[in-house]
Structure 1
Amino acid sequence: MNRIEIEQAVLNEIHTLPLDKVEATLKFVRSLKVTPIKKRPLGLLKDKVAFELGEDFSMTDDEFLQS
């Protein structure tokens, strides 16, 4: 979807909501402007575990795909 299609879809949905929900939606949309995006680590163990591969480690693409 492009921006215009998204905006139109949002407007179509808004028209079906009761006034209190429309007000809550507007409040939420306005909060998106000022709320920083919180980045979260990828994976549950990120920054909790570590590993190293030995200098003599080697694996071909085929070996990797078969494992």
Structure 2
Amino acid sequence: MSDQPNDFISDAKAELSGMAKEGMHHPSMKPVLTGAAVGAVAGALLPIVSLPLGLAAGAGYMFYKRLRP
């Protein structure tokens, strides 16, 4: 991945495309799904955050960390 900030969108497109094509064989899929599961559990336990919001936030955070460690 590139270190230039303006390449974030193109890096995200390439990563999502790879995840869609390769499925569970893609190296980013399992960490993103794990983040989604952790976020969903947090969303279920916390009174302010809902389950779908927690799931999306967890998946989004892990996806971002895969692009920009």
Both proteins in one fold, TM over 0.5: no
Return the structure number with greater helix share: 2
Larger Rg: 1
Normalised by the length of structure 1, the TM-score is 0.30
Higher normalized contact order (CA 8 Å, seq sep 6+, divided by chain length): 2
Normalised by the length of structure 2, the TM-score is 0.29
